[in-house]
Amino acid sequence: MSGGTIREERQSGRRPEHIAASPAALGENQSHRGVQKSFDAASRAGSDLRILHERKQERGKVMRGDGRIFLRGRLYSIAYYLRGVEQREPAKTSDPKAAEKFLRARMREVGADLIGARKFTTPKASRLTIHELLEVLKADFELRDKLSRQNASHLKRADDDFGNYLAVGLTSEKIDGYKKERLAKGDRPASINRPLQLIRQAYGLAVKRGHLSRVPSIEFLSEKGNARKGFCEETEFRKIREFLPDYLQDFCLFAYCTGMRYGEVRSLKWKYVKGDVIELQAEDAKGDGDEENARSIPMVGKDLAGILERRKAARQVKADGTTTLAALIFHHDGRAIVDIRKAWKSACKKAGVPGRLFHDLRRSAVKNLDEAGVSRDVAMSISGHKTQAMYTRYNIADVKRKRRALEQMQEWREAQAAEESKVVAMR
């Protein structure tokens, strides 16, 4: 072993010590002055091979940056430090030279990490599975009340498809193969993207918490042309609302008036109501928790003012002879509203408009705000759209609106022609 002499001793009567080796003893090709070889043999009869090579220091201690090999039973393990934290892992060999070679490789990886060349993967991180990452993400969703039935479904699909993979073993090639396989089966790009989005989110959370060092590159399929174009006319929505359960009527009317997303509506709390203004907190809005996502909704006009009054009356919840105050503005007997799809689907069918989606209420609100002449910036502050492009995507022009627009243009052209003819006649 270059850079120092290895000495083997076997003695009995004392407990076996760990085996230490400095970077010099790990094969560095530089000669070092003042290196002292000291061997401390104190192993039991017939037990351990002892290797000790220390760099001389004023206090005579082994440097923290040095790695070491040591026996655990019949096989060697290695230990080394990364940013002040000791890492241990089995070398899986009874050959000390093979263990030293393994340690040298690990020390080179540590060195590459320290100079910023490449992130080091710890032994613990190398054992993590994608299933474990998804379980952590699921727990985070539950903690933040974000585990909708839809999210749970996509998490299950992600776990079924990728759960057995080691987290450090997921590559772009495997992701591309997965996308090709599902496309060949006829799956839509949006259906393929959803579990992949959750996997990337799970990796991001693991990196944020220090369990992993990087997020793999996961490219999503284009969903161009996948945008839905449905919305509810006023009379259609009123019919649907009549067939909804009482606890959902104001819930859906609020979404129809404001364009607020389903998850945002169900998160609204009384403690954030100031007078007649409801405040949506940034952490409850769609996005990354940025304060720009927070917004306020004045409860004015017949519908919104009526909602506020009715919800105040419904805040008191009686159960087991006691009365409590609900924390949520929209609730079901004091409990959070979890899933409305079955009730919504049934109401749409009874109203004679099957196939309508709850999210159509958001598109309807955007359309209504635009037709009412509300300025774009104010409308976006109500609906929560962050970009003009996304707002425009929701502001769908149907045939009826196009017909009215062309009729208005015709009337305007005729009016212009009449004005021009008057000017000519006066000359």
- Single-letter amino acid, residue 211: H
Each residue's pLDDT tens digit, 241-259: 999 999 999 999 999 999 9
Residue 5 confidence (pLDDT): 35
Q: What is the pTM of this model?
A: 0.51
What are the pLDDT digits (tens) for 318-341? 888 899 999 999 999 999 998 899
Q: How far is CA 12 from the centre of its chain?
A: 57
72: left (phi over 0), alpha (psi -120 to 50) or beta: beta
| Angle at 332 (CA atoms; ends 330, 333), nearest 5 degrees | 120
| Residue 39 confidence (pLDDT) | 32
pLDDT at 389: 65
d(CA 365, CA 300): 15
> pLDDT tens-digit profile of 353-381?
999 999 999 988 888 888 888 888 888 88
Which residue from 229, 274, 246, 159 is spatially nearest to 395, judged by alpha carbons?
229
What is the reported pLDDT for 228? Answer: 61
384, 281 Cβ separation under 8 angstroms: no
Q: What is the SS3 assignment for 156-199?
A: HHHHHHHCCCEHHHCCHHHHHHHHHHHHHCCCCHHHHHHHHHHH
Burial of 71 from C-beta contacts in 10 A (0-12 / 13-18 / 19+): buried
**What average pLDDT does this structure show over 207-231?**
81
Determine the pLDDT at residue 86: 86
The pLDDT of residue 60 = 32
Q: Which of 16-20, 73-77, 301-305 has the least mean pLDDT?
A: 16-20
Measured between alpha carbons, how far is 161 from 91 in angstroms, rounded to an integer? 32
Q: Render pLDDT for 394-426 as a digit per residue (tens, 0 to 9).
A: 665 555 666 666 677 778 777 877 887 776 565
